[in-house]
Amino acid sequence: MRPSIVVGESDSGWTPAFNVLYWPLRAFSRGLIEELPARADGRVDVVPVDYVADAIVHLLRDRPDVVGTVHVTASDSAVTVDELVDLACTALDRDRPRLAPLVGSELADRSPQAAQYLPYFDIDVAFDDARAQKVLHAAGIAPPPLAGYFDRLVAFAQDARWGKRDVTRAQARAEL
């Protein structure tokens, strides 16, 4: 099983790990990103951890006959950078950053930490999820659209102070 970018739970936003997508979102929430080195049409394939967990359980328990790699991704429903920026601007009440080419980006020059996340915003592929469609989606296991739970991811991240405050899964679920 090969998941794409895994984020918090789709219903509560809970996550124990604030990496990949969370670092640039945190920087953006603090007003540190005025220019985003990314292509507007680049794809950002994000899936919630509950979808990944359901896929693992189903494959191990109900479909041990499946061989080969199952891409547990959003695939065709993956958002573009442009769509992700819109979601972030709305959820974080921030002005839209400029999108700029990755080469020679000011952000990459200023922050090596930021530079490690840049390839995630320049992907020009859609993962082949035909096997997931056949095995997982046929069993009713499919990723929800990011727009439907993005606000919960951000709200949880802010509540947990982007990983600096320990919020248990039970506490996050109690707030539902």
Query: 2-171 domain in CATH 3.20.20.140?
Result: no
The structure tokens 């080195």 sit at 37
Using the structure block, give the residue that is written with the tokens 């320049």: 122
Cα distance between residue 60 and residue 165, in whole Å = 34
Report if pTM > 0.85: yes
Measured between alpha carbons, how far is 176 from 170 in angstroms, rounded to an integer?
10
The H or E element spanning position 48 is strand 46-48
Lowest mean pLDDT among 98-107, 145-154, 155-164: 98-107
Confidence check: pLDDT of 147 > 70: yes
Quote the CA–CA distance of 115 and 143 in Å, as a whole number: 28
How many Å apart are CA 68 and CA 141, to the nearest integer? 18
Residue-wise pLDDT tens digits, 8-66: 999 999 999 998 899 889 999 999 888 888 888 888 999 999 999 999 999 999 999 99
The token duo for 15 is 């996550």
